[in-house]
């Protein structure tokens, strides 16, 4: 007797971020999110990447749009990369933490795995502010028991040749390095990406 095993349905990976994930200043197909889809295909990992990142978005903006995004895409994995614009604009860090926490809880409520992608502020914002900003990501990862990429731009932030002229956004050359920073933290979640 033969049993038919249905093929594993492709998992859905939703990237929910700001300009750093939206590919600001890059040509189509150059962003680290595009490169992520290419790597998954190359490694024959049946996971579809949806990029719901919006340049300039804040944690409050993300909170306002997370519910319809979760409903529309039903992701198995959420990559949450928000907060940089909150920090750069000097917005309330307590509000930022609350917003990100709510996004994480809503995603987990749908059964999605969440990977939090951290950022850091430039040193000119002062040690107290920059340390508090950075610690928010560590606190959220600990409190929500989710994995954390400590700093997305860890390998490129201090390399002028890797930055666009605005000195805020990584250029095309930097994008593979951003992916390599995210990848080790994402890999353990990919085994959960196939439903059924």
Is 86 assigned a catalytic role? no
Contacts (Cβ under 8 Å, ≥6 apart) of 23: 30, 31, 33, 34, 51, 53
Catalytic pick among 9, 59, 166, 185? 166
Given 18, 19, 34, 53, which residue is catalytic? Answer: 19
Q: Which of 53, 57, 169, 185 is catalytic?
A: 169
Q: Could you give the CA distance from residue 71 to residue 93 in angstroms, rounded to a whole number?
A: 28
Nearest to 75 by CA among 146, 14, 17: 14
**What's the CA gap between 99 and 17, in Å, rounded?**
13
State the distance between the two ends of the chain, measured CA to CA, in whole angstroms. 22
Active-site residue 169, yes or no? yes
Catalytic annotation, residues: 19, 166, 169
């Amino acid at each position: 007797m033969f049993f038919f095993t249905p093929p594993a349905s492709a998992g859905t990976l939703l990237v929910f971020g700001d300009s750093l994930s939206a590919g600001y200043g890059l040509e189509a197909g150059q962003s680290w999110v595009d490169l992520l889809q290419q790597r998954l295909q190359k490694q024959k990992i049946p996971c579809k990447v949806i990029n719901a990142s919006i340049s300039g978005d804040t944690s409050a903006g993300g909170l306002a749009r997370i519910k319809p995004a979760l409903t529309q895409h039903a992701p198995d994995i959420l990559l949450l990369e928000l907060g940089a614009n909150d920090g750069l604009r000097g917005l309330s860090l307590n509000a930022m933490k609350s917003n990100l926490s709510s996004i994480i809880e809503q995603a987990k409520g749908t059964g999605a795995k969440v990977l939090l992608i951290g950022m850091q502020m430039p040193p000119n914002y002062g040690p107290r502010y920059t340390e508090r900003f950075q610690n928010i990501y560590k606190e959220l990862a600990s409190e929500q028991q989710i994995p954390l990429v400590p700093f997305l731009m860890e390998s490129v932030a201090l390399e002028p040749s890797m930055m666009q002229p605005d000195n805020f956004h990584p250029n095309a050359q930097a994008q593979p390095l951003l992916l390599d920073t995210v990848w080790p933290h994402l890999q353990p979640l990919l085994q959960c990406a196939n439903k059924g």
